[in-house]
A and B are shown apart, each in its own frame.
Chain A
Amino acid sequence: MRIGLIVNPIAGIGGAAGLKGSDDRALVAAAQKQGFSSPVRQRIGEALAVLQDIKGSFELYSAPAVMGEAIAQEQGFAPRVIGKISSAKTTAEDTSRLAAELKAAGCDLILFGGGDGTARDIAAAVADLPCLGIPSGVKMHSACFAATPRRAGEVVKRFINGQCQILPREIMDIDEGQFRSGRVSAKLYGYLMVPVYENLLQGKKNSGVIWEAAALQNLARGVIAEMEAAPVGTLFIFGPGTTTAAVFGELGLNKTLLGVDVLSNKEVIAADCNEQDLKRITQNKSFYVFVTPIGGQGYIFGRGNQQISAELLINAAQIRVIAVIDKLISLPEQALIVDTGNEAVNQGLRGFCRVLTGYGTEAMIKII
């Protein structure tokens, strides 16, 4: 059994920087200058760590240097390196070429770290080879990613044991330019063959589903009542989504649909913030965080709202998950998922959570 590893070393860098993606080289370079770094190294590490105890049952083949080799070595693997890269500034072409080389080297499965863009590059080269994504990008609308890095490791274990079905899964991507201007239009780019074991994979994201307007308005009023009951001077951070936008709508305000905005006294004091903006605005202030899960998936942190970082969450006076009931019951196993990048923060959030579903109504939903 040969498992191939390929990593997009800049995946996810646009998340904490509030860039909505990492496809634009100039923006990424600017983010790197400001001190933002990619979470990919840690995420691939988490996935590989799960495989430590079955090291002997497979051979690890890896793309060179920053594209896989380095992280594998950090985790104590001695991978066989396939192919070459000419510079530390890797490109989409490198990803495609190395995926093809891993396939040619006889890999049974390619495990890749990145987001939708990386998935597209791999699909272009190896359409029929089983591939599995370790979620490390900003945009992950495709259905080829495991729900968390750890679960990616679990799926690989099942794959090695022959317990997985290999099924075609959608490769979706959205235009980052449009995403920045507040419009989601996910496009289907093709399919990857993905090992599937129960619900360990991230479900295909539903975009543009319109929830019952009345239920949303009721929920918006519930949120507003909670803001009114909060101590004077409290700031309210609102994550992306149509649910949080409905709260703003009820107040006659405009919300950045896919960004993070901050309210104080029912007024927008900062729009479309990145992680550093949020840290600066909330410094020495009491603040609540309102987020809604991604429909059909259940992520409350770590997908599309990476600006609300683990470090920020540690200081929040309240973290409030809001969702209408129909959205909750559409979630796989009716559970919420956290993937903040900080295992201690994830662990602190896990367990039963009171999700606000309307004015004065809550549902007990598990965070996993």
Chain B
Amino acid sequence: MRNFQQARWDEPIIMEMGSEGERGVLMPLAEERVTDAVGSAQSLIPAAMRRKNAPKLPQMSQMQVLRHFLRLSQETIGTDINIDIGLGTCTMKYSPKVHEQFVRSPKMSELHPLQDESTVQGILQILYETDNYLQEISGMDKFSLQPSGGTQAIYGNVAVIRAYHKANGEDYRDEIITTILSHPGNAAAASTAGYKVITIYPDKDGYPDIEALRAAVGPKTAGLLITNPEDTGIYNFRIKEFVNLVHSVGGLCSYDQANVNGVFGLARAKEAGFDMCHFNLHKSFSSPHGCQGPAAGAQGVVAKLAPFLATPTVEFDGEKYYLQDNGEQSIGKLRKFWGVPQVILRTYAYIRSLGPEGMKKIAELSILNNNYLLKKMLEIEGIELPLAPGKRRLEQARLSWNKLYEQTGVGTDDIDRRIVDYGFQCFFASHHPRLIPEPFTPEPVETYSKADIDEFVAAFASIADEARHNPELVKNAPYKAALATQIDGEGLTDPKRFATTWRAFKKYVDK
């Protein structure tokens, strides 16, 4: 076991730092000849858009800024510095560093989205070919690479569902069905688009209840948004029946493949009968998550839905690549210009470097890793694997510390705070609601070695042991993290108490 101790800098917020007049760069004044020709810099900004007062930004030198952010970086635990198996459903795999060189190359960084098509054939080719690869991986007929995140891609698919029914004169369809263990982004996107959302719960075997679906579908059904495998790693073996049921009443089916790690090369949306799917390119396709972006969600549809996709799409006429406006039927734009091409470039590099066999290997290895992890985890007294007893999981699993909690009073939130003392970042418990008590959702993707998994399990075994011998030790954790105090979680959920900007924070403090 490591004797971990994180840096603790007690660093202030940058808005509180610096001093009057301090600068990172002293900008030279423009030469007279220049101002004579074009006027002052200020005069180039329309009068109505000019600030009356300077923004209240911290005034700091370069060295101070660098030191500040390096200190903060030492106080975080990111994917590149820890064994990031605990953050299940997020698919925290290694992001090859060579991809960053492609993205930072002037060939990419100096591109402008308003350049003439003839001068950006290279990136258009990459976008077009990525679309083709994703078609092959999913069986869908056309992709939009415009959404800048997974849930935006789901929203795009909901918008396509709405546009399709409207085109058929069936816009009275106002219900969308999802499952409680599908990503909540599905229910959220449908709600945002104005649909009623009907949620299916697991049956007694842990699979989405098909009888509930049978009772839910009807003439008002617009579509089904579903994840498979669900958050639990349980593969819904009746998925085709689900799709057929929804089709039988005229609804469309959208497959949430935000995380496709467990089915790469093994199963496709098309063969299960889906009309749509989406991929989070920052998950299974290795682009960094980026902490609130920029990310990319690729939205794929079958041929009959292609006219509804976001505009523009990238096409090829045999000689040149071009952007095509999708006209009146399109759902419009989801993101300005072309989306986030830097993420697509990393995705393209990832697919090209692995090839079809390599991508299938991702699924095989991540399933193998997960089943090895589960075998080892379940040897720890106090942890259980509820739902679908005896059934294998694919790439992730939702475990439960409920037994340990009942025996010792130490629950998943305590363990989550204690694990950072071992040099692992906080794990992911569960999406809301906690259907499984005291949940814990690890996902040991293909890039982790057996030694990594063993080290990860050993830390949890040690905490379970602490829970039995010294439960207070776990309950009062953390001790060795950058922030060795417990955070009052209510400040994060009570709208009256949280501040998302410095100005809002100041207002709150002044009150």
Contact = CB atoms under 8 A, between A and B. Distances in A.
A200 B434 CA distance: 24
A57 to B, nearest CB: 30
A357 B204 CA distance: 21
Contacts of A125: none
Contacts of B180: 363
Interface stretch (A94-102, A162-170, A325-333): A325-333
Interface string A329-368: 1000110000000000000000110100100111111100
Interface secondary structure of A, over-half rule: strand
Contacts of B135: none
Contacts, number: 45
B197 A329 contact: no
Given A351-B215, A352-B211, A352-B215, A362 B196 contact: yes
Interface secondary structure of B, over-half rule: mixed
B191 A357 contact: no
Contacts of A329: 433-435
Contacts of B432: 325
Contact of A352 (B191, B216, B433): B216
A354 B177 CA distance: 12
Nearest to A212: B493
A325 B433 contact: yes
B200 interface: yes
Interface string A299-335: 0000000000000000000000000011001000110
Contacts of A364: 198-201, 209, 212-213, 215-216
Interface residues on B, range: 20 to 34
Given A351-B215, A352-B212, A352-B216, A363 B201 contact: yes
B196 A360 contact: yes
Contacts of B200: 364
Contacts of B433: 325-326, 329
Interface in B50-73: none
Contacts of A354: 198, 216
Contacts of B204: 333
B33 to A, nearest CB: 62
Interface in B210-231: 211-213, 215-216
Nearest to B196: A360
Interface residues on A, range: 10 to 19
B511 to A, nearest CB: 21
Nearest to B495: A214
Contacts of B434: 329
A361 B199 contact: yes
Nearest to A324: B433
B223 to A, nearest CB: 15
Contact of B187 (A333, A361, A366): A361
Nearest to B177: A364
Contacts of B216: 352, 354, 364
A361 B196 contact: yes
A365 B435 CA distance: 14
B191 A363 contact: no
A360 B209 contact: no
Contacts of A325: 432-433
Given A351-B215, A361-B187, A364-B212, A334 B201 contact: yes
- Closest 4 A/B residue pairs (Cβ): A352-B215, A364-B212, A363-B199, A361-B197
Given A325-B432, A352-B216, A364-B199, 20 more contacts: A326-B433, A329-B433, A329-B435, A352-B212, A354-B216, A357-B199, A360-B196, A360-B197, A361-B187, A361-B196, A361-B199, A362-B196, A362-B197, A362-B199, A363-B199, A364-B198, A364-B200, A364-B209, A364-B216, A365-B201
Interface of B: 180, 187, 191, 195-201, 204, 209, 211-213, 215-216, 432-435
12 contacts: A357-B199, A360-B196, A360-B197, A361-B191, A361-B198, A362-B197, A362-B198, A363-B180, A363-B199, A363-B201, A364-B209, A364-B215
